[in-house]
Structures are given as C-alpha cells and as structure tokens.
Amino acid sequence: MEHYLEARLWNDIFCMSQDYIGVPRGSIRATCLIETITAAFQMDEFIYELREHSSGLNCGRWDYIFSFIKKMRMHPDFVLPDRSNVTMTVPFMDAYVRLLIKTCHKRGVAAIGGMAAQIPIKNDEAKNNAVMDKVRADKQRECDAGHDGTWVAHPGLVKIALDIFNKGMPGPNQYHIRRDDVHVTALDLLNTNVPGGISEDGVRGNCMALLHYCANWVAGLGCVPVANLMEDAATAEISRSQLWHWVRHGAKTVDGKAITHAYVDKLIDEEAVKTKKSGLDDKRVDLCARYLKSQIRAQALSDFLTTDLTCVPLSLHLSPPFRRRRSLTDAVAPLCRPHLDEYAAPTRPAKL
C-alpha cells in the first residue's frame, strides 16, 4: 500500500466480510507492511484507518528500498551505491525503522522487523557460520531497537531469531519501549548519505541476480536462492531499478568506469552465459537478457518486472508436466506490454 486510503478500503472490506458471516468486528486482524516510501509518511494514518483490525506495522525492507529508488528515479542526488551497501543501518533505513517502532508503540500495536534474506550454506561450514553471524547481528539489532517480532527467509533461521527474541523480549511484546528519544523528520527519511560506492562486482551482481530470478519467474517460481540469498520480486526489483538509475544518471564505478548501456550489456551477456550453465533454460535466459537490456534503455522505469514478464509466451512459462490449457488470461496476455522475444506477441497491441 502507498496511501492511507488503501488502508481505509481494506478496513471497509474487513467490516463487510465480518458482518456478512456474522462474526464480531475486530475478529480479522491485519499487519500492514510499510514497504513504500510514501507509506512511511503515513504510519499513524494506516493504524487509524484499520482501527480495531490493526495488529501493527511491519518493516518490508526490500520492497521499501525498491520503492525509494523508484520514487526518486528522476533525481541524480538519490543514486545509491551497491545493493549490498544499502543495509538497515544506513540513514534513511535507520530513520524508517525508528519511526515505525515509535509510532506502533505509541498506538499500542506491534512493530515487526524485516526479513533476513540469508539462507544456510551447505557443505561449507566457514561460509555458513559467517552467514549465520550476519543473521544473528541483524536480529539482535532489531530486538535491541524495540521490535516485537521479525521475519526470516528460511526455516533454518527460525531458531536463531527465536533464541534472540526469547532472551531479549521475555514478555509478549516490547510496547514499554516507547522510543521517546526518536525525532524523525522528512529529511531523515530521505537521507541518502550511504557509505560505499558502485563497484563492477555490484553491477555484475545485479545482472546475475536478475537473470536468475527472471528466468525462474517465467518458469513459475517466485522465490529463488541465488548466491546464498533468497531472491524474491522485491530484491530483484532493487537490482533492476538500480541498473536503470545508474545508467540514466551517468553514474560511475569506483574504478571510474561509466555505467552505460554498452557496459551493462556486456555484463548481462557474460552473466547470461554463466546462468545457462547453471541449468536454466536457454530460451528463458535469452528472453530475460533482452528484457533487461530493454529496461536500461527505457525512458521510464516500468512499474514491476513481474507484470512485464507475465506477458511472455505460455510455452516459456511452464515446463512439462506443468503446462496448462490456454486460459482467458493467456489469451489476453499478448495485449499486455510488447515483448522482445520472437515467439511473443506483435509489437503493436491489436485494436479492440
């Protein structure tokens, strides 16, 4: 959600649903994901609009970063460094977290932390221990800050989060931590003084993660382990929007290389070869590579890659034995955004 009026709509839906089936109002409880930059300016309003249906607010950290980049896409002053440098401790993310905890506890509802995207690493104890240490540090920071719960991306991380919160939060919540010391302004929420720069490894990593995720998306998978992280639509969108943002505003790497269409094309081609060797379907990888190249050349960043890639041919979406009969959705798919694949719809939508 991006506006409190959307929360009002959901409240109306909850009320109507409860009245229809004859249960008391307030039986449905909802936690709002604050995962857009505009929602961060309306936290009180979201809680108010949901009233007795509100269980609290949740830090949707990855979607929030994507939303931040997308909303500020036309401004060169908001170009961010490598994705790996945009952590929960950088100024605009830290301000968002502190404001969410203060707002929730002032209203007597839960402030839920964000998702740790790391996943366990098999057959390499040293690397796995390093990853688990990152998760512990992340969850300890959330517990110390006053969060009342948290997310993880993998069942193997649940015990780590539980141990930390059981020790640091012996009661059912931390509503007593009022955070009266917090005074977050609009400028704090927009503070992009993020340490670090843009490296070739960062640009290449974005290309690699996007190729893997997009090729899996058109195959029917929406959550994919890539480079020991759980990639979902939100993390993929960060990579896509960053590539567009860097090219659009003529950013340079820390080595002085200009991030141009040609430079990103070269990295996409190199990573596409590696991606195919990982076992993904060649046609899907080629389609996604062409899609990404078209995106960095676009005058305007499209809203969502998942919407764009829903319009690809059905034959590339699902592998046997999962192919299904052509549905109404499939029939109208060619009327969506034109695609770059030779098997796709015509470049101009049919007149209706």
Mind listing the pLDDT tens digit for each residue in 48-70?
Answer: 999 999 999 999 999 999 999 99
Q: Where exactly are the structural domains of the chain?
A: 4-189, 200-335
Structure confidence by residue, pLDDT tens digits, 295-304: 999 999 899 9
Whether the bond between 170 and the residue before it is cis, its omega within 30 degrees of 0, is no
Structure confidence by residue, pLDDT tens digits, 235-289: 999 999 999 999 999 999 999 999 999 999 999 999 999 999 999 999 999 999 9
The pLDDT of residue 313 is above 90? no
Give the pLDDT confidence score for residue 137 in this predicted structure.
96
Angular region, 196: left φ>0, alpha ψ -120 to 50, beta rest: left
Among candidate residues 94, 115, 107, 102, the one with its CA nearest the CA of residue 51 = 107
Question: Which band of pLDDT confidence, cut at 50, 70 and 90, is reported for residue 341?
Answer: very low
Structure confidence by residue, pLDDT tens digits, 86-138: 999 999 999 999 999 999 999 999 999 998 889 999 889 999 999 999 999 99
The pLDDT of residue 200 is above 90? yes
Cα–Cα distances (Å) from 204 to 55, 197, 266, 293, 302, in that order, read: 40, 14, 10, 14, 21
Average pLDDT, stretch 19-32?
A: 97
Give the pLDDT confidence score for residue 107 in this predicted structure.
96
Give the pLDDT confidence score for residue 336 in this predicted structure.
42
Pairing of strands 54-59, 110-116: parallel
What distance in Å separates the CA atoms of residue 203 and residue 196, rounded to the nearest whole number?
14
Average pLDDT, stretch 38-50?
A: 97
Select from 3.30.1490.20, 3.20.20.360, 3.90.79.10, 3.40.50.720 the CATH code of 4-189: 3.20.20.360
Percent pLDDT > 90 in the chain is: 80
Contact 81, 198 (CB under 8 A): yes
Among candidate residues 261, 293, 305, the one with its CA nearest the CA of residue 70 = 305
Residue 258 DSSP class: B
Question: Which band of pLDDT confidence, cut at 50, 70 and 90, is reported for residue 42?
Answer: very high
Instruction: Spell out the residues 6+ positions from residue 251 whose beta carbon is closer than 8 angstroms to its own.
Output: 79, 198, 245, 258, 259
Residue 111 CA, distance from chain mean position: 19
Q: Which residue has the tokens 């919407």?
A: 307
Average pLDDT, stretch 219-223?
A: 89
Exposed (0-12), middle (13-18) or buried (19+): which is 4, by Cβ within 10 Å?
A: buried
H helix and E strand count, the chain: 14, 6
The pLDDT of residue 186 is above 80? yes
Average pLDDT, stretch 153-181?
A: 95
The pLDDT of residue 321 is above 60? no
Contact 241, 73 (CB under 8 A): yes
Give the pLDDT confidence score for residue 185 in this predicted structure.
97
Among candidate residues 7, 3, 98, the one with its CA nearest the CA of residue 47 = 7
- Report the b/e string of 300-326 with b at 16+ CB within 10 A: ebbeebeebbebbbbebbeeeeeeeee
- Residue 107: CB atoms within 10 A of its CB come to 16
The model carries a pTM of 0.86
| Least confident segment among 168-177, 200-209, 248-257, 325-334 | 325-334
Give the pLDDT confidence score for residue 310 in this predicted structure.
84
The pLDDT of residue 294 is above 90? yes
For domain 200-335, the CATH class is mainly alpha
Structure confidence by residue, pLDDT tens digits, 164-175: 999 999 999 999
Exposed (0-12), middle (13-18) or buried (19+): which is 293, by Cβ within 10 Å?
A: middle
Average pLDDT, stretch 171-199?
A: 96
- Residue 155: CB atoms within 10 A of its CB come to 9
What distance in Å separates the CA atoms of residue 5 and residue 3, rounded to the nearest whole number?
5
Q: What is the mean pLDDT of the chain?
A: 89
Give the pLDDT confidence score for residue 123 in this predicted structure.
87
Give the pLDDT confidence score for residue 227 in this predicted structure.
85
